[in-house]
Amino acid sequence: MFASAVPRDRYSREKRSVSQPRNNARVVGSGSKPGTVSPATMPVKKRLLLTIDDYRKEATANLKKMEMEYYNRGADEELTLTRNVKAFQSLLIVPRCLRDVSDVNTAVEWFGIEVPFPIGIAPTAFHRMAEKDGEISTVQGAAKSKSLMVVSSWATTAIELIGHEAMKLDVPLWFQLYVYKDKSITSSLLFRAHAAGCKAIVVTVDTPVLGRRLADERNAFNLPAGLTLANFTTIQSSQMPSAHEGQSAFEKYVGNQIDPSLDWNMVDWVISNTKIPVILKGIMRADDAEEAINRGAQGIIVSNHGGRQLDSAPATIEVLPSIVEAVNGRVPVFFDGGIRNGRDIFKAIALGADGVFVGRPVIWGLSVNGAEGVANVMQIFQKEFLHTMRLAGCRSIQEVREFHDGVVKDSHFAKL
């Protein structure tokens, strides 16, 4: 899959996706001067979406309040949500010069799958809440950008349909797994994910209960009419309970379905019930990374759930180096949380990550322009990452990994 990397020194020439104008200009009716255009119906100038933040602003304006706050907000006071982004901003890149960066190789291999950039699509729920075709559009955007996609257990499109589209478009898939109280549900998900062509299982380990998401409680969050948890339509677990003012239906659903008694024996059980690699998502400590490897996990994702679980947890980029040191190359260490541009990706890989995943930015792209928006978001990340590599003097991913002493805290220069 994606056997050949993207050309080293050129980017996609696809036209940038932009929001459609809300009104078309029209000639004012009888009594108006011929050819006069009503100010109220003049065409809205298309915004040029050049950065991930451009997409964030556009998506925030387009989405309904409940939907926007579900995607964008975090837990409690959102300290960790904010810290994830600010921690990247506090890191500086000290570039090398005169390195001949005319030929740069960004390709990597993840569990036998070659991808042209070390940037994947993180698992996020409810894509059809952002855009009518939801996860199918996301797969199509992944194909256009040659990206690996991780499918959420809580997708609003069934894994079989996602897998069919991915197979047709040659998109590599992994499947993110929540372990339900009813183990037969979890066993079924493992079987169906494998049958749908997923090449790895990503087990979320940081959600014994749902983080307290105050915006969802204030909005009495529930899935809009017509949407369900599509992987569970044959059982009662596809519907969320009703929510009253001050309640989140999603929080009630998780409390009803997800097992808070899970321990490390769960990892043994999942590994014994699938034939594909198992990756643990939600590792924030070196000792947990060590235990994950001892239990047979074949990869880990350093993640604090995008600041949506334990508030006051450190930023993922702050704990990444200690986890990489503990793992010492025995399994791949992936990363998510707070990535908003290609420089952030460079910093994460320089500090030891084997690859990164992005979640909210993909939803922003999806909500703004469907598959084209997803593709453009991923292409922005790819373009910025390659540009950063060149400016920093790195010609390969290996050279980025060897660049760790060139990524420093801004406090390093405070004494100057």
Q: Is residue 366 a contact partner of residue 122, using CB atoms and an 8 Å limit?
A: no
Q: 180 among the known binding-site residues?
A: no
Write the DSSP string, 58-111: HHHHHS-HHHHHHHH--STT-HHHHHHHHHHHTEEE----S---SS-B--EEET
Tell me: is residue 182 an annotated ligand-binding position.
Answer: no
Q: Tell me: is residue 134 an annotated ligand-binding position.
A: no
Is 337 a known ligand-binding residue?
A: yes
194 is catalytic: no
Any known ligand binding at 213?
yes
- Strands, E, within 206-332: which ranges? 278-283, 299-302
For residue 55, what is the enclosing H or E element? helix 52-62
The partner residues of 333 in beta bridges, in order of sequence, read 300
Check the annotation: does 106 bind a ligand.
no
Q: At what angle do helices 342-350 and 360-392 cross, to 10 degrees?
A: 70
Q: SS3 for 288?
A: helix
Alpha carbon 232 to chain centroid distance? Answer: 22
Instruction: Please check if 204 is assigned to a binding site.
Output: yes
How many residues would you count in the chain?
416
Report the b/e string of 299-325 with b at 16+ CB within 10 A.
bbbbbbbbbbbebebebbbbbbebbbe
d(CA 55, CA 115): 24
Element of type H or E holding 160 = helix 159-169
Please indicate if the annotation marks 338 as binding a ligand.
yes
- Residue 359 assigned ligand-binding role: yes
Catalytic residue among 127, 164, 244, 305: 305
- For tokens 């087990």, the residue is 203
The answer to the question of whether 339 is labelled as a binding residue is: yes
Is 16 annotated as contributing to ligand binding?
Answer: no
Question: Has 281 been labeled as part of a binding site?
Answer: yes
Q: Which of 230, 379, 196, 355 is nearest to 281 (CA)?
A: 355
Whether the Cβ atoms of residue 116 and residue 385 lie closer than 8 Å to each other: no
40 annotated to bind ligand: no
Number of helical H runs and strand E runs in the chain: 14, 12
- Nearest Cα to 396, choosing from 148, 118, 119, 97? 118
308 annotated ligand binder: yes
Catalytic residues: 305
Q: Which residue ranges are tagged as binding site for glyoxylate? A: 70, 178, 213, 305, 308
Q: Which residue ranges are tagged as binding site for FMN? A: 123-125, 152, 176, 204, 281, 303, 336-340, 359-360
Q: Which residue ranges are tagged as binding site? A: 70, 123-125, 152, 176, 178, 204, 213, 281, 303, 305, 308, 336-340, 359-360
